[in-house]
Amino acid sequence: MTNPTRILLIDDDAVDRAAVRRALAKSGLKHTLTEASGGEEGQRIASEATFDCVLLDYRLPGIDTFALLRTLLASESEARAVLMLTGEADPELATRLMRAGALDYLDKAEVTPSGLARAIRFAEARRAFQDELAAARREAEAKSLELDTLNRQKSLLFSIIAHDLRNPFQALLGLSEVLGKAVAAREPASIERRAKGIHEAATQAYALLESLFSWASLQMDTMAVTLTDVDLDAVTTEVVRGAAEAVSDKGLTIEVSCGGIIVRAQRDMLTTVLRNLVGNAVKFTLPGGTISVAGRQDGDDVEISVTDTGVGMPPGKVDDLFRLDRRTTTNGTAGERGSGLGLLLCRDLVERQGAVLTVTSAVDRGTTFRFRLPAPLVARQVPASAASAS
């Protein structure tokens, strides 16, 4: 069963309104009709109720018809059809009104039951078509934007591979050549220095490749993530153990307060996030500084944070931290180098688990990364008194 067409008639002439009312009554068009005797009244009624079609008199006293037309079309995301009624046979005026958004232009002298019903049906069909066309256009624009983003990401990844990956391999080639000469000359100090340089360059290349592969795999992986109960303290202990050598070399202190905390997460993803965040904190904390990893239950969630007393960041840099198109690399406090992909990987991994990674930082005061994951599901226990009473 079709719903009646909801019509709003805005006309200051009572005789003309009566003529439209009679024509609609004889048209056979199933409808409801609301009448307004002026532009301001019509605008108020239109803002308070929903209408499929508005019959609007062109000449209304005390109001700009074109301004009223714009207001009527702006309501409800332009979902309603507006037909103009006029006593003037002016093709130029009709063109201007149609360009302004009106869907038809009817001469009052030619308002007949069949003609009015046909015009209303045509206007409704045309409006529906325009809405479908607009929706298709928005969808196409969204797809185009998505493709543009993917293309930019691809270009940036190629740029990273071409630029960042070339540097450590150039160092490997140069250092290995010098190392060969040092071995031939039997210079132990030079051999040790060059060997250390080769190790650092290889480590840098491997870390970059690992970040690239992890991030690229994440972009291609569309499988749903399954969360399970994870012992946050066990994961943190594993991460801290892996960072122990770098922490010791820089004379840093790591404080962990995650004991007894269980969180709903994907364990491997959570481990990768914490490993990168702790590694980032080590990189940008001066010798003697402190890094804190904490878990705190807050209602149904667990807030996980990694805080350092490092060099911090200005607001502008914080804003661009998770933007691939503004990726920047900064050497650590001991000259450590990175690809700038670690934090992007952390953000994506956190989001894949249904959370949001946030950061607060201040220059020379340190940085804190936070995200919230759900606490484990705990079965409700029936009180002993209630159990015995039953």
Task: Please report the DSSP string for 121-150 in residue order.
Answer: HHHHHHHHHHHHHHHHHHHHHHHHHHHHHH
How many structural domains is the chain composed of?
Answer: 3
- Sign (positive/negative) of CA torsion 184, 190, 191, 196? negative
Select from 221, 237, 268 the last residue of a domain: 221
Select from 86, 118, 135 the last residue of a domain: 135
**Cβ-based burial of 220 (10 A; exposed 0-12, middle 13-18, buried ≥19):** exposed
CA distances from 384 to 73, 379, 381, 389 (A): 64, 15, 9, 9
CATH number at residue 284: 3.30.565.10
Q: Is the domain of 255 the same as that of 311?
A: yes
Q: Are strands 253-257 and 262-265 parallel, antiparallel or unpaired?
A: unpaired
Integer-rounded Cα Rg, in Å, for the chain is 35
Alpha-carbon gap, residue 282 to 248, rounded angstroms: 10
Q: Is the domain of 89 the same as that of 180?
A: no
CATH number at residue 17: 3.40.50.2300
Report the amino acid identity of residue 130.
Q
Q: Is the domain of 339 the same as that of 312?
A: yes
Closest CA to 343 of 363, 379, 317, 314: 317
Q: Which residues contact 59 (CB under 8 A, 6 or more apart)?
A: 65, 86, 87
Select from 82, 117, 135 the last residue of a domain: 135
Q: Is the domain of 211 the same as that of 286?
A: no
Q: Is the domain of 352 the same as that of 269?
A: yes
Per-residue pLDDT tens listing for the chain (390 residues): 578 888 999 999 899 899 889 988 888 888 899 999 998 998 899 888 888 888 999 888 888 888 888 888 876 544 578 888 887 777 788 788 888 888 778 888 778 888 788 878 877 777 777 678 778 888 888 888 777 766 766 665 665 565 556 666 777 777 788 888 878 888 888 888 888 878 777 876 776 676 666 666 665 565 567 899 999 999 999 889 888 888 888 999 999 999 889 999 988 889 888 988 998 899 899 999 999 999 999 989 999 999 999 988 888 777 777 766 555 556 556 555 554 667 887 888 898 899 999 999 999 899 999 999 999 976 223 344 443 443
DSSP, collapsed to helix, strand or coil, labels residue 292 as strand
Domain with 22, as residue range(s), is: 5-135
